Amino acid sequence: MNIDSFEQLTTRIGRLRLRRRCGSMPALTVFIAYAPTSSYDEDEIEAFYMDMEKFYREDHTFYKVIVGDFNAKIGPRRTPEELHIGTHGLEWNEQGERLSEFIMTTRTIHGNSQFQKPTSLMDVLAERRRCCTEVLHRIRPSPPSRKILLLAQRRESREVQEEESQTNHQLGSFHNASRLWEDTVVDNIDEEYERLIQHLCDSAKKAEGSRTTKRRLSHETLELIRQRGAARAAGNYQLTSELARRCREAIKEDLKERRAAVLAEAAEAGRSIRNTRRDFANRKTKMTALRRPDGTITSSRRVMEKVIYDFYSDLFDSHVHLPPCHLREDEYVIPSVLPSEVRHAIKSVKNRTAPGPDRIRPEHLKNLPTALVNTLARLFTRYRSECKVPSQWKTSRTVLLYKKGDPQDIGNYRPICLLSEAYKLFTRKAFDTIETEAVLEALGNQGVPTQYIRIFRGLYSNFTTRISPFYDDITIDVRRGVRQGDTVSPKLFTATLEDVMRRLEWDNMGVRVDGRLLHHLRFADDIVLITPSITQAERMLADFDDACGKIGLQLNLTKTMFMRNGWVSNAPFSLNGTTISECSSYVYLGREVNMMNDLAPELGRRKRAAWGAYKSIEEVVKKTKNIRLRAHLFNTMILPALTYAWALRKRDENAVSVIERSIERVMLGLTRLTQVRAGIRSSSLRQQSKIRDAAVYAKLSKIRWAGHVMRQNDHR
């Protein structure tokens, strides 16, 4: 490339334009910037970023890059939504947060954090992710000039694969087909249930035959495709190449418009935007290699199946011998299940969930005729009275969902059981290492009628699950654990953990709060122990670990940490010879807590969460002209993310308002520069956007929660 021009725009911003040797128009613009340090006034820093944003938006070159010293430290990506930040950052500072906000506003990426390179004084911001494949952390001068290599690679576009959801017409067809049902009592429970499921499957197949697909490409694009075929047949390769380029651009634009229109339609209809966006997903994480127990890596699918079988066979196998729990006899008689109760339970089932082995979906249950609802009520009553369930409910299909960490570690995949919708409906009416007998005993200790416990024992005995990673089905016997994906699993786990806590002798331990000793907080398996000393903390943790071990639970010491305040001595903390890591802050139930009561880290988390929430609705906000819909999306998606778990001070209210105004400007298609030039006040923006004030929303939420607490008993 040759230099086209260089301009000194301000004392801190310069612009270099480069053009191709065979072209006359600039092909690349490089902005050179030097930002004020943190010692400068806030107004001067704000003016710099306003100028930078102005010059960047006014330049219409295809490739644009910003290189400069922003006095910023960009840390690693903290949430999956921060796609503009790479994974190779080191730490954050205040200027880094400001630069991150500028990057999100201008829709660029931070090039330095995309590569594992030594630290550099210069930050590189690129408009297109694929145009930055290397960052040079050191440029060596070579007379008579310096050479800067900018590498670009072409990204092939591909059509987004969209799967149309069930239409009202298809569900109506299913309803009409399933009405042809005659309820007949069969002595064998399995045969009776299989007859019902087979009828539902046949009805679903008939309904699928009437599936219709909406057109995704416009008539103009289809005409271009026809012309391209004609040019190729005529041997005009130059025209074919030109038409192929225009076809790619037209297809990409049509799919983009189609995606935005479908998302906007879902938002206006009150449907989930996230579930609708899932239909457009064109990629899926695949398991390509796994680590064997000896540490070696294998990419053979047959060997990977063996690794999966060994891991989950050991995980679901019983490791603690517990005698069968004694079930007390009581006179409780389980009432019959009414059809109205079944219909009410069906309404509470979530749509668009993966089906179980029988392939029956929640949408099918919600369109059942009255005759089939009556049949389900009769079957559920029979299962209750006989304490026996169909054998089909004792098998499931398990899918492995990647969580985070090393994708080659099988432990970083979460096994989700895909159970029959009829089974989940039954348990609605009515974690991996917990022993089944311990669950049943805990239910009995907490007053659950014996007949219900017998039903659960029947559900969990001789249970198997199938995993289909590649070629063959892997069948695994499940001898312990509650099933992730089952509606009743959280209740069973909570009941078991409550039984463990009741057996601990902690009456004289903990910290006195309002005249009572508080020794722990618990939400499912997220537990906080509160103690006045390291010695007492070690004893409580040892007691808890011993009690959990008796029922098959095991503490994850890699995720167990502790914090101390200034009143606690600086002594080591260990459990069974393993040192417990100390931390200065910890995220508990979505809120970062620390002993200094410093809200600055949580402010940064809330800012990132708010921008992430905006990214999830950005396509709809830009597509729709409905002001009330945009305000509704902001109030329901962004405000909860921005104000979650906050007790705001005046300074914090100002910080929240700044973030809210930034997102508000983007929603209205404005920038700070255009707002200042037009003389628009923030109050005027609020009248246009119709959104709620974040500070007022946070205060009202806090007062509402205080009212809930006041109405509860002190010893709940």
Model pLDDT for residues 204-259, shown as the tens digit of each residue: 888 776 455 567 888 999 999 999 999 989 989 899 999 999 999 999 998 888 88
Residue-wise pLDDT for 466-521, tens only, equals 988 887 888 998 888 777 777 788 888 888 888 888 889 998 999 988 888 899 99
SS3 letters for 362-391? Answer: HHHHCCCCHHHHHHHHHHHHHHHHHCCCCH
Burial class of residue 706 in the structure, from the number of CB atoms within 10 Å of its CB (0-12 exposed, 13-18 middle, 19+ buried): exposed
Q: Is residue 433 predicted with pLDDT exceeding 50?
A: no
DSSP symbols for 455-518: HHHHHHTTEEEEE-SSSS-EEEEE-B-PPTT-TTHHHHHHHHHHHHHHHS--TT-SEEETTEEE
pLDDT (0 to 100) of residue 157: 32
From residue 46, how far is each of 67, 526, 610 by CA, in Å?
Answer: 19, 42, 21
Q: Is the pLDDT of residue 393 over 70?
A: yes
Q: Is 515 left (phi over 0), alpha (psi -120 to 50) or beta?
A: left
Q: What is the DSSP string of 568-604?
A: S-----EETTEEPEE-SEEEETTEEEETT---HHHHH
The yes-or-no verdict on residue 156 having pLDDT over 70 is: no
Q: Cα torsion for 295, 296, 299, 304, to the nearest 10°?
A: -50
pTM, 2 dp: 0.65
pLDDT above 90 (res 540): yes
Query: Is there a contact between 98 and 628 (Cβ–Cβ < 8 Å)?
Result: no
Name the DSSP class of 142: B
Q: 169 pLDDT band (50/70/90 cuts)? A: low
For residues 171 and 351, the answer to whether their CB atoms sit within 8 Å is no
Which residue type, as a one-letter code, is found at position 26? P
Q: What is the pLDDT of residues 584-626, one digit of tens each?
A: 888 888 888 888 888 788 888 888 999 999 998 888 888 888 8
Q: What average pLDDT does the structure give for the chain? A: 82
Instruction: Quickly count: other Cβ atoms within 10 Å of residue 493's Cβ.
Output: 19
- 638-669 confidence digits (pLDDT tens): 999 998 877 677 777 888 888 899 999 988 88
Of the two residues 138 and 288, the one the predictor is more confident about is 288
Q: Which pLDDT score is estimated for 385?
A: 87
350-364, 438-452, 549-563: the lowest-pLDDT one = 438-452
Give the whole-number percent of the chain exceeding pLDDT 90. 18
Banded pLDDT at 436 (limits 50, 70, 90): low
pLDDT of residue 537: 92
Q: What is the pLDDT of residue 432?
A: 40
Q: What's 26-90 look like in SS3?
A: EEEEEEEEECCCCCCCHHHHHHHHHHHHHHHHHCCCCEEEEEEECCCCCCCCCCCCCCCCCCCCC
**pLDDT at 431 > cutoff 70:** no
Give the model's confidence band at 127: pLDDT under 50 very low, under 70 low, under 90 confident, else very high: confident
Q: So what's the pLDDT on residue 2? A: 72
Q: Which of 58, 251, 57 is nearest to 159 (CA)?
A: 251
Do the beta carbons of residue 320 and residue 551 sit within 8 Å? yes
- Per-residue confidence (pLDDT) for residue 142, from 0 to 100: 38
Comparing C-alpha atoms, which of 97, 94, 11 is closest to residue 47? Answer: 11
- Can the peptide bond before residue 415 be classed as cis, meaning omega within 30 degrees of 0? no
pLDDT at 160: 32
Which is more confident, 68 or 285?
68
